[in-house]
A = this chain, B = another copy of it.
């Protein structure tokens, strides 16, 4: 079976225009990225969920504390090692050691395999790595993983203004915990000579998706001007509602109005491009949630018709936080399918420092083209990219696999650049 999903769409309009534009502007694109990364340092790492509707290729989620590294093609391990070496050169060239802070309270083996893979990449880059958890109640713990690796998590401690594990002090602390709960006090006031990357200010207790997508909108506009495309082709439109209380039914008007506005905007664009699909929006908590509280909405009336169970579900985010801010985002169809069953496939792109290091498809047999594929309890099969996203082929058709992967890598890097600017704006110079 092919390792590349089919892109199936009846459209003939702007299809392949994105890939063709990226391909013919490759030199300008790479030149532009180089200058951008000189201005704004890339985050240590990140993953970006993309949706590919053929006529539109856009990021829908940017994760600065990525898991899923175990889903990448092992053939790209050397690429990851090289990119980590660049990240260390940028962050703390004199580093010999690195502490990883993992997700709290998790014995999820998929997550722990990803954590073990991150550790392995950094060890191969030549650093000593230990895992320091921040669960207040737990002590050291060891888990044997299905891959045969052993995962020892030790208790992270504070010594003066430094984070340590027993006598192990590190120049770099790599955060792999999205801090959905409140930002833990142990991370406050750390001496600047110990770099925490990405900075805790980017944790979900502090960060809003709408901030990210506002940055992304500017990045997409600058980029689109250069390659001369309509920014809408790579940018999901959005609005934001604050002060929503689903349980008390406060803020519903604001939400319904914004859903209407976004749907109207999409309808206009679909007319402009002759796209014969029914627009939809995704309503989700503006703070990060790992796919909780996500609603597909095709009509503003749906908002007013939520039953109690649905409202309760929308009301609570990850880590027990109450949702008050809601992002109303243009829904982007996924028209990539894989295999005989035409399972929906959603690309997830991984980056370390400013380099794309691989990715995989979330292949999902039980979801529709307009549903979120990163939902709680959802089951997907990871399909590792056979391609590194860095080998565009000018001699091949715009939609040939290397060029489709290159397009993924370009849009994912735009989202990473937005995140880099977000970090820059949230953290003191």
Contact = CB atoms under 8 A, between A and B. Distances in A.
A31 B394 contact: no
> What is the total number of copies of this protein in its complex?
2
Interface stretch (A61-69, A74-82, A134-142, A270-278): A74-82
Interface string A111-125: 000000000000111
A34 interface: yes
A78 B95 CA distance: 26
Contacts of A78: 76, 79, 388, 390-391
A5 to B, nearest CB: 21
Contacts of A94: 31, 34-35
Interface in A77-112: 77-79, 81-83, 85-86, 88-89, 93-97
Nearest to A93: B34
B391 A81 contact: yes
Instruction: Among A81, A82, A86, find the residue whose CB has the most chain B CB atoms closer than 10 A.
Output: A82
Contacts of A128: 27
Contact of A127 (B27, B82, B96, B355): B27
A94 B33 CA distance: 10
Where chain A touches its partner, the secondary structure class is: helix
Contacts of A392: 124
A28 interface: yes
Contact of A83 (B29, B82, B88, B95): B82
A394 to B, nearest CB: 7
Given A79-B79, A86-B86, A93 B126 contact: no
A10 interface: no
A384 to B, nearest CB: 14
Contacts of A81: 388, 390-391
Interface of A: 26-31, 34-35, 38, 75-79, 81-83, 85-86, 88-89, 93-97, 123-128, 355, 388, 390-392, 394
Given A27-B128, A38-B93, A78-B391, 6 more contacts: A76-B78, A77-B391, A81-B390, A81-B391, A82-B390, A124-B392
